[in-house]
Structure 1
Amino acid sequence: MDTSTLASTATFAAYFVVMIAIGIGVYNRTRSQSDFVLGGRRLNSWVAGLSANASDFSGWLLLGLPGAVYLSGLGEAWIAVGLGIGFAASWWLIAGRLRIYTERVTDARGGGDSDSLTLSSYLENRFADRSGALRLVSAVLILVFYLFYVASGLKAMGGLFDQVFDMPGDTAIIIGVSIVVLYTFLGGFLAVSLTDVLQAVMMWIALLIVPIVGIVAIRGDTGRETGSFAEILGGVEGSLGDALAPMVIISGLAWGIGYLGQPHILARFMGIRSAADVRRAGTVSVTWAVSAMAMALVLGFTGAVYFQAPLDDPEQVFAQLIQALLSPWVAGLLLAAILAAVMSTADSQLLVGASAVTEDGFRLFLRGRMSAMALVWTSRAAVIVIAILAATIALSGNDTIMDLVSYAWAGFGAGFGPVILYSLYWRRMNRASALAGMIGGGATAILWDVFDTDGISLGPIAFDALGTGLYAMVPAVLVSVVCIVVFQRFGRATPEMEADFDRVEREFRSPGTAPAGR
């Protein structure tokens, strides 16, 4: 075993040990479903803020985005701009109200404060839906799209192990998912959130160091041909003109809308200690996010200049820069940061998916017939099942990390984003409009790429491809909003729903009028 492999093996092993130790450390603090799903709503500002970052940006930030910029140049930077705006908007528009509403809204079935633990249960209680339709639709959307989202993380993990250890991707995916499942299984939300803090710090430091070292190396090589500024901004295969195309700009900026409906990020808003902690947490989180994405863009451009020959796998540009520029032991630590990025999102998504199975499946239909610990163990079993299904997708699919993430991101953003936003600000919104918005947005996100790229044939009827190249988020969100507004006339807000809305609004505007935590 050479020095480089030894260093990477040692640092990866140490990282795995720390993650599992955290899971074991909080195992005995998980005594109820609320503890497992939302950590008992005890996250302070720093943990909530950094955990939101780590659970969000994942391997996409360290592998997908730098790889896309390396290949296509400035055109991919619009995604980062849109995400920065959208992330700040989610903290400002959603976090505080959602934190209060999920706890205060009246239980649709039992009365009293509901303490909703999932988005699905929140929507059911917000719209007094005793039929279970809102829970069912939202749970299905969560499970379907999270299978692809978790698969993207596992695929990133496989690519990293292949790059570092020359290990077959299938083996790497199995090893990686086993570690993630273990500490998520043991510690639930609290373990995931605490590991997220460490992972966020590792990711940020790696993104800071590698571009600086790369730029210094490039400037120190006087014989290197770097090309013109416009050529650099075009990446390896793109051009500056492509980056300024209206459809590229609109599609890139549209990614920001997705933040309004990502369950694994919204769970951090729901789990924060109180609405009063939201402002500080948002400042920490947005500062981290904007600076990290800026460094990821610089990293992609640095790779496009540093490597004279095109890389076989553009999404490994970060890992290859680390191995080319740094000593083995430093490289091992920074490669572990990439692993941290991948695992930090996969664990959060597994947890939310498992929560949907338990809270919106077993608990809904077996209400009152399962003990607190029985629910916890059901959630732990669900973590394993979802992980196996996602690993199957990762092992069998050929899509890139970016493709898998963009598909799931559009699905969540359109399926939940408009519905969540309207539910917090529209007093008269009702069950019919919420259900229509979720179905319309989610279905459009699923079908758009089929119609826009390949066309579709249904027996004698054929639909030509639209060929716009527009990101599915744009039409899917528009459809969702139209459905919400149009279907409003087919239902009504009950006096209890309006009273809940007024009560939450008063508490949000006057902190301290009611206890914010339990």
Structure 2
Amino acid sequence: MVFFCVYAASCFVAVGKLFSTLFNTDYIYMMILGALFVVAYTFVGGFLAESASDFMQGIVMFLALTVVLIVGTIKAGGISAIIENARNIPGFLEFFGVAQPKVVDGVQQVTQAGTPLFGEAGNYGFLVIISTLSWGLGYFGMPQVLLKFMAIHNPNELKRSRRIATIWCAISLVAAVCIGIIGRVLYPDVFLTYSAAENIFILLSSKFFFPLLAGIIMAGILAATISSSDSYLLIAASAFSKNIYHGILKKDASDKQVLYMSRVMLIIIAVIAMLIALDEDSVIFTVVAFAWAGFGATFGPIMLFALFWKRVNRAGAVAGMVAGGATVFIWKLLIRPLGRYLDIYELLPAFIISCLAIVIVSLCTAPPSKEIQEEFEKVKNYM
């Protein structure tokens, strides 16, 4: 629930930036308006509405990304012109290099001609590479991703859904990066802070297309936002109402009472997320990175151990989740700021510590019951 609040906040920040940029209005009012819209249809529709809307929103996102990418490439003078411009940025296209913008008080400096200034290329060290690759570990613990696979009607469709998900990720991530590079080519002297730079898709859409079409394309941002935020709100609210309220606090609760509590928690979580999202200068990527690490380190290791190690038990699972989640906070807030060799994305050390906690505690406590081990073997043989 803690990390879902952070995740939902990143979505509300995106909504606020979208509408405040489009209509030149106050960010906070637009953020709250977008959040209320998401809460309203999630409140009424539940999981079925969320799943159906995710499918339609995914189509809008896909079309928006590909259309802006194609038109942007043409406007920028073709692929060769884009590559040449990127090559002129020191370190940008080097495999182990990284561009170093000249920044003063968080704002990149530009020449009188409007050309952004860069310093000498930096280098990606071994720790930075490992730290960045650790992003992939997060997928094992994402409830909003795993839940869709768990809810599938026919297990035989899992292979198809896996292929669709992989292809979608590849296309969307490549398109998003390329759109950022195109924006740098066409409008090098706008959005000179990390926070403002996330508005480049909005600018390109409004410049490339007439208003009606631009509105449809920019709906892709809204689609991406609400397709994520509704998942976060619904899963977190359901987890509390079923696992804590029904499972611990009121075991004799009726389905109607559980539904009522789920809706109450949905509103509470949304309010907390809106409070987190009040900062207009929030960088969406930074907010998402923290929540991604939290889910990946808390749930990822135990998901893997539950599938591939028969000896893991309840105590080990709890120890791994607590150790992983706590390490994310400790590493992010206390250890990583020390810099140098400790400046590693918090997901990597938290994931490792969670794995160690699962193994050590499981081996030091009683093994799972015979029924659980038999179920493990049954599932293993089925797979």
Calculate the TM-score normalised by the size of structure 1: 0.65
- Residue 437 of structure 1 deviates from its aligned partner by 1.0
Q: Which residue of 1 aligns with 2:213?
A: 330
Aligned pairs, how many? 356
Per the alignment, residue 181 of structure 2 pairs with 301
Q: Is the Cα contact below 8 Å between 1:230 and 1:240 reproduced in 2?
A: no
Q: Which amino acid is the alignment partner of residue 254 of structure 1?
A: S
> Counterparts of 2:99 and 2:184 in 1: how far apart (Å)?
6
Q: Superposition pairs for residues 276-291 of structure 1, below 5 Å? A: 276-291=156-171
CA contact (8 A) 1:303 1:321 kept: yes
The corresponding residue for 1:246 is: 126
Counterpart pick for 2:145 among 265, 272, 275:
265
Instruction: Choose the corresponding residue for 2:252, options 369, 393, 405.
Output: 369
Q: Does 1 or 2 have the higher relative contact order (CA < 8 Å, sep 6+)?
A: 1
Cα deviation digits, residues 447-488 of structure 1 (max 9, x gap)? 112233435xxxxxxxxx556321111111111111111112
Aligned position for 2:380:
505
Q: Distance in 2 between matches of 1:381 and 1:446?
A: 27
Instruction: Give me the whole-angstrom Cα distance separating, in 2, the residues matched to 1:239 and 1:498.
Output: 58
* 1:399 partner SS: coil
1:477/1:225 CA distance change after superposition, 3 Å: closer
Decide which of 288, 291, 294 is 1:408's aligned counterpart: 291
The answer to whether 1:496 aligns with 2:376 is no
Distance 1:374 1:193, change over 3 A: same
Per the alignment, residue 230 of structure 2 pairs with 347
Shift of 1:439: 1.3
SS at match of 1:219: coil
8 Å Cα contact 1:354-1:379 kept in structure 2: yes
1:177 — aligned with what? 35
Q: What displacement does 1:219 show? A: 0.9
The offset of 1:241, in angstroms, is 4.5
User: Separation in 1 of the partners of 2:354 and 2:270?
Assistant: 30
Distance in 2 separating the partners of 1:396 and 1:483: 36
Corresponding residue of 2:71 = 213
Of the structure 1 ranges 388-397 and 312-321, higher mean CA displacement relative to structure 2 is found in: 388-397
Runs of at least 5 residues in structure 1 that lack an aligned partner in the other structure? 1-142, 456-464, 510-518
Distance 1:340 1:240, change over 3 A: farther
Q: Which residue in the other structure is 2:57 paired with?
A: 199
Q: Deviations over 1:122-161 (max 9, x none)?
A: xxxxxxxxxxxxxxxxxxxxx1111111111101111111
How far apart, in 2, do the equivalents of 1:327 and 1:236 lie? 36
The question of whether the paired residues in 2 share the 8 Å contact of 1:235 and 1:304 is answered with no
Which structure 2 residues correspond to residues 478-493 of structure 1 after superposition, within 5 A? 478-491=352-365, 492-493=367-368
Question: Relative to 1, partners in 2 of residues 1:369 and 1:324: Cα closer, same or farther, differing over 3 Å?
Answer: same
Q: Does 1:476 align with 2:350?
A: yes
| Deviations 1:322-368 (CA, angstroms, capped at 9, x unpaired) | 11222111111111111111111000000011012101111012555
Letter in 2 for 1:445: V
Measure the CA separation in 2 of the matches of 1:274 and 1:484: 32
User: 2:320 matched to which residue of 1?
Assistant: 437
Identify if the C-alpha distance between structure 1 residues 206 and 356 changes in structure 2 by more than 3 Å, giving closer, same or farther: same
CA drift of 1:218 comes to 1.5
Give the 3-state SS of the residue equivalent to 2:76 in structure 1: helix
The 5-angstrom pairing of residues 78-117 of structure 1 reads none
Residue pair 1:350, 1:383 contacting (<8 A) in 2 also = yes
**How far is 1:265 from its partner?**
1.1
Measured in 1, the distance between the counterparts of 2:188 and 2:77 equals: 15
| Equivalent residue, structure 2, for 1:159 | 17
Change (3 A) 1:303 1:269: same
Q: Does 1:145 align with 2:21?
A: no
Cα separation, 2, equivalents of 1:406 and 1:240: 27
The separation in 1 between residues aligned to 2:42 and 2:88, in whole angstroms, is 46
Q: Which amino acid aligns with 1:201?
A: I
Corresponding residue number in structure 1 for 2:111: none
- Report the AA paired with residue 448 of structure 1: W
CA offset digits 1:175-221 (Å, max 9, x no partner):
1111111111111111001000111011111110112111211218x
Q: What is aligned with 1:447?
A: 330
CA 1:186/1:327 → structure 2, altered by over 3 Å: closer, same or farther? same
> How many percent identity over aligned positions?
34
Contact 1:261 1:417 survives alignment (8 Å): yes
Distance (Å, rounded) in 2 between the aligned partners of 1:424 and 1:235: 41
Q: Find the aligned partners of 1:485 and 1:295 in 2 and give their Cα distance.
A: 40
Runs of 4+ in 1 over 4 A off after TM superposition: 223-226, 238-241
> What letter matches 1:497 in structure 2?
I
Q: Which amino acid aligns with 1:479?
A: I
For 2:251 and 2:361, the matched residues in 1 are separated by 34
Match among 226, 229, 251 for residue 87 of structure 2: 229
TM-fit CA distance, 1:412: 0.7
Amino acid at match of 2:352: L
Instruction: Tell me if the contact between 2:13 and 2:282 (Cα under 8 Å) persists in the aligned partners.
Output: no
Query: Residues 418-433 of structure 1: matches in 2 within 5 Å?
Result: 418-433=301-316
The alignment's C-alpha RMSD in Å is 2.4
- Per-residue CA deviations over 1:83-112 (Å, capped at 9, x if unaligned) read xxxxxxxxxxxxxxxxxxxxxxxxxxxxxx
1:293-315 deviations in Å (ceiling 9; x for gaps): 11111111111111131414111
Which residue does the alignment assign to 1:116?
none
- Write the letter of the residue equivalent to 1:305: V
Please tell me whether the aligned partners of residues 452 and 466 of structure 1 are also in contact (alpha carbons under 8 angstroms). Answer: no
